[in-house]
Amino acid sequence: MRTTMLRRTASAVAAATAAALVLAGCSTEGSKPAADGKIVLEIATFGDWGYAPYIEQWKAKHPDVTVEYETAGGGDDQREKLLNFLGQDSGLACVEALEVDWLGELKQFSDRFVDLADPELEDRWFDWKSEMATTDDGKVVGYGTDIGPQAVAYRADLFKAAGLPSDREAVAEYLGGADATWERFYEVGAEFTTKSDAAWFESVQGAYTAMINQVEHAYENEDGTPKDLAGSEVERIFRTVLRHGTEQKQSAGLAQWSSDWNASFKRNDTFAVVLAPSWMAGTIKGNAGEGFVGWDIANVFPGGGGNWGGSYLSVPAQCKHPEEAKDLAAYLTSAEVTLDQAVKNGGGTPSQVEAMNSPKLLPLTNPFFDNAPTGRIWADRAAAVKVVPFKGPNYKKVHDVVVAGLNRVDVDKSQSVDQSWAQVLSDLKSLN
C-alpha cells in the first residue's frame, strides 16, 4: 500500500515538540552555508548515540563541512517529527535516525528519502538488516546501525536463593540450552515463584515482545494490509503471556520504561529475569547502579533466536547536500565506527558483518554482569536469529494497541484478559 499524502495528525505534546523542531529546521534547513562559508549538516538521533568523537573524525577529512548533532527526544518524538515534516521542504536534519518498528511506515514515502544504495556497501550488513530498509524496487532508505539479539539476563543471587542453578552455563542448560522453549521458560518461572518472593520476569510487555518478534507475519500480510487478529497467533501469545504473567503471578506487573520499572532493577523483591536485547544491558546497568552485584547473562533464549530493535540512519530528500550527508551516514555506520563503539561499551551488537566477526569483539566481557562473555553471547544470539518479523506500514500502530491491551491487565489491572482482548479488536477497527 502506497500513498503520497503524509499523515499530519499528532498529539498536542508531539505537535509542540515537532513545532520546536520546525523552527530549528527552518533556521538551518538541515544544511546551510555557515558564516565562514562552510556547509552545515545536522544529524538527529533520539538520545545520544555517542557519535560526537566519530563526527570529529569525519570532519577532519571534510574541512569544508560543519556538523551539528541533535540528541533530544525519544523514539516516539522522532517518529512524529518525521511524519510531520517529511513531506515539507525543510524541518528535518540532513541525517535522521529511524527505528525498525516504524521503518515500514516511513518506507511508504520512500520518494522523500535519498536513495542510499551503493555497490561498495552491499555486503556491509546482515542481509535481513539491509532488506528491512530496502523498498520493493531496490531503493535503500537507511544504513543500519545496530541490532538487538536477545538473551536471558537474570539475577544470579535470586536464582541461588531460590535453589535454582545460578552459574550462567548451568542456567542456560536449565532453560533448555539450544532447545530452549517458551514452555520450559514458563515452567521454570512457576518453579521460581514458588520458592521466592520475587516475580519471574519484569513485565508481560517484555515477554510478549520477545515472543511476537519470533512471528514472521504477526500483524500484517505480505502486502502490508492489516490481518484479522481474532483467533490469530497474536491472540494466542496475548493470552499465553497474560496467563503466566498475571494468573500465575510470574510478572512483576511493571510498565516498561516507567519510574517504578527503572527503580526495580536493584531491588530483591521485584523480578529475576529480563528477556534482554543486547542494547538493554546498558539499561540494566544504568538502573541498577555501577556497584550493584547480582546481574548476569545466560547464552540462551526460548524458541531459538530473537531480535528486538535496531536502528538506521537516513538522508531525507529535503537535504541540500545529500552527497555529504550520505557520506557522513556511511561513515557512522561503518564497521570501523560500530566496532569501536562496541569495544568501548564492553560488547555490543553492530549490524555490520565485519564488525560482528571481528576478533576484537568476540573476547569482550562485561564486568557488571560478573564478567559475562558478552562478545561471544551477542554474536551467538545474533547467529540464532532465524525469523525476522515483517514490519510494514501498520506494524507500529497495531503493536501499540496490543501492548496497551496487555498493560490494562498486567499493570493497571483494570480489565480481565477477555475484556482487554475484546477492546484490542475494537480499537484496531478504528485505527484508520
Predicted local distance difference test score (pLDDT) of residue 20: 33
pLDDT digits (tens, 9 = 90+) for 126-162: 999 999 999 999 999 999 999 999 999 999 999 999 9
Average pLDDT (364-369) is 93
Looking at the chain, the whole-number percentage of residues with pLDDT higher than 70 is: 91
**89-93: average pLDDT:** 94
Please determine, for residue 2, whether its predicted confidence score (pLDDT) is greater than 90: no
Q: Please tell me whether residue 295 adopts helix, strand or coil conformation.
A: strand
- pLDDT tens across 240-262, in order? 999 999 999 999 999 999 999 99
Residue 289 has pLDDT above 50, yes or no: yes
Given a cut of 60, whether residue 8 has pLDDT beyond it is no
pLDDT tens-place string over residues 396-407 = 999 999 999 999
Q: Are 161 and 290 in contact (CB under 8 A)?
A: no
Q: Rounded CA gap, 306 and 90, in Å? A: 38
Distance between CA atoms of 94 and 116, rounded to whole angstroms? 13
| pLDDT average, residue stretch 204-231 | 96
* Nearest Cα residue to 151 out of 369, 401, 322: 369
- pLDDT of residue 345 exceeding 60, the answer is yes
Question: Given a cut of 70, is residue 172 above it in pLDDT?
Answer: yes
- At 198, is the secondary structure helix, strand, or coil? coil
Position with higher pLDDT, 47 vs 232: 232
Question: Which whole number is the average pLDDT over 37-51?
Answer: 92
Evaluate if residue 35 carries a pLDDT over 80: no
Residue with cell 518525521: 82
What does the pLDDT read at residue 323?
97
pLDDT average, residue stretch 365-373: 95
For range 211-221, the mean pLDDT: 96
> Over 60: is that where the pLDDT of 7 sits?
no
Arithmetic mean of pLDDT over the chain? 90
Rounded-to-integer distance, Cα 159 and Cα 195, Å: 10
In the prediction, which pLDDT does 73 show? 86
> Which domains are present in the chain?
39-147+310-357 (3.40.190.10), 148-308+373-431 (3.40.190.10)
Residue 271 β-bridge partners: 199
- Residue 149: its pLDDT value, please? 95
- Cα 201 vs. chain centroid, distance in angstroms? 19
Q: Is the pLDDT assigned to residue 386 strictly greater than 80?
A: yes
Is it the case that residue 344 has pLDDT exceeding 50?
yes
Residue 290 or residue 182, greater confidence = 182
Instruction: pLDDT band for 25, please (50, 70, 90 cuts).
Output: very low
pLDDT reported for residue 215 = 97
Phi, psi (5° rounding) for residue 281? -55, -40
d(CA 103, CA 56): 28
- Mean pLDDT in residue range 320-343: 96
Give the pLDDT confidence score for residue 33 in this predicted structure.
Answer: 58
pLDDT at residue 11 is higher than 90: no
Q: Tell me, what's the pLDDT at 346?
A: 62
pLDDT at 319 over 80: yes
- Model's pTM, two decimal places? 0.86
Distance CA 7, CA 311 (A): 22
Give the pLDDT band (50/70/90) at residue 18.
very low
Sole residue written with cell 538502573: 287
Question: How many other CB atoms sit within 10 Å of the CB of residue 112?
Answer: 20
Closest CA to 96 of 84, 79, 109: 79
Confidence label for 359 from pLDDT (cuts 50, 70 and 90): very high
For residue 78, the model assigns a pLDDT of 95
pLDDT at 425 over 60: yes
Q: Which amino acid is at 86?
A: L
How much is the pLDDT for 6? 37
